Chain A
């Protein structure tokens, strides 16, 4: 169902939602865009050319989260009550919503579903804002997505100038906008043009035909050490990545808690074994792992790239490693060019 949301009622819509649920919307604080709780009187930031610095994945997989608490009396671990109220994330970009849908294939699985993820996901409505003017670091169209992709979204907004066209995809998305007037044929047509123009602005940054097969063939290439030479191993590409989900589980004995923290394959200890053996001892193997996971292994798990083209790793890499250029270089590397260890 399509609705028309006049811009002048947007703030009042957010205010009304905020009375029923926790609403998060992009706002500027400490000099950059972030998803912050919405309160009446706040200033909304929707015209930022770049996405929020942190992807909204922490709404579902917090950077640090208590999994279990320790009951000293019973000498047992217990699950703490996980009370998540109804939440609406407004203004999430399609790349980040798609990432949430991708992570469902990891956490909302038939076998061993993750109850922490599931609860947060069930309680959170995602209202997306399509990208009429994608940024220079964006490459969603290169990885099977697009600036108006609605994967993972409950509703999607297209900026028509004076108003937004609202497309709803789920019952709960529908419920949020049902009191609005329906969009007319003209609105839908205008939105279609805007969506097409935005997609056209994003020329594919690389070709994905046969990419996985080629990457599998150059697993032993010298290329990975070449990439790793400029990599600092800081891990920011993974921490800011909306699809990176690796975590560590540690006991915080002083707090009587077992905690899950974000982890990264870019760190040496990530795969270091008790014997001292490490299957990924240098940054070359670790760079390869990050790259191969997103552009080869994900395809086998979910038949989709584990990258949504948000461009954060490109924008925030301190040494300017650009995954798009890396892919182009990998694609151009002949599979015979294998170095001998």
Chain B
């Protein structure tokens, strides 16, 4: 019996590193831009890709780690990831140099419901390295072809310090754009920092984005999300208009290995993006 007829969902796509550079001054965050070994894999990837999705990055001998995609399709024939050095796999990913081979499975998960957001104002709220998928979202909507689909764009992005702020040069250029509003924040004051100082939930209250015809997208560490969601509710955003992306320990990424569930939903397959209304209907198993 041959299994060739069934595509093996556990088999990573062969990739290689195009660019690798540190994203933060403390060298805990590294960005990898990956290129496809085979052009047909690229076609297959971009046919399915949607900002908000993630991939399983694979370093053989170490294992796999789920990492959010930090690039938009129009940026080029590569996939960007920003990896925080945490365990064995991410340490190995940090060691990769341009030209090095690695594996990738994906895109996995649902991604942001962009179709449903058409015509809406977007309030994009991120904290720490979880901003990576929001960066993909922002890049996506910035494209001249996509931009008319959305109304006002407000980005609120907080990091612990300016050194941990990702995609610095690009974000710097966003301030010049007339079609979006950018608010960056750090937790503790620093010399020469001209933007907000404070935690993301407080900055959200201060900026007070309007809930009228808007959706808010929140990605950050659990503690940030925990306090930002009620702040948005207080500003008048209904639970159906608040979205967040969740993370859990994952292995298969396709809803089979069992571990990433909240109630009957698998974060890998049914998520990682959920509206607050959907989350409110699930048990508190986060």
Contacts and interface: CB of A to CB of B under 8 A. Distances in A.
Contact of B258 (A113, A245, A280): A245
B11 interface: yes
Given A76-B101, A114-B256, A249 B64 contact: yes
A274 interface: yes
B218 to A, nearest CB: 17
Contacts of A270: 249, 259
B36 to A, nearest CB: 13
Interface string B223-259: 0000000000000000000000001110110111111
A224 to B, nearest CB: 11
Interface in B74-110: 86-87, 90, 101, 103
Given A280-B285, A301-B264, A274 B86 contact: yes
Interface stretch (A67-75, A138-146, A179-187, A308-316): A67-75
Contact of B10 (A67, A70, A84, A277): A67
A17 interface: no
A195 interface: no
B3 A119 contact: yes
A297 B264 CA distance: 5
B1 interface: yes
B163 interface: no
Interface residues of A, number: 56
Interface string B1-22: 1010011111110100000000
Secondary structure call for the A interface = mixed
28 contacts: A76-B101, A77-B11, A77-B103, A78-B11, A79-B3, A79-B8, A82-B3, A106-B256, A112-B255, A114-B9, A115-B8, A119-B1, A119-B3, A122-B1, A246-B258, A247-B257, A248-B257, A260-B10, A263-B258, A265-B258, A270-B249, A271-B248, A274-B65, A277-B222, A289-B285, A296-B263, A297-B261, A297-B264
B63 interface: yes
Interface string B271-286: 0000000000001111
Contacts, number: 123
Contacts of B256: 106-107, 112, 114, 245, 247
B10 A68 contact: yes
A121 B286 CA distance: 35
A270 B258 CA distance: 10
Given A112-B254, A219-B284, A273 B12 contact: no
A249 B258 contact: no
Given A114-B256, A271-B259, A247 B251 contact: yes
Nearest to A273: B249
A176 to B, nearest CB: 19
Contacts of B1: 82-84, 119, 122-123
Contacts of B6: 113, 115, 118
Nearest to A71: B60
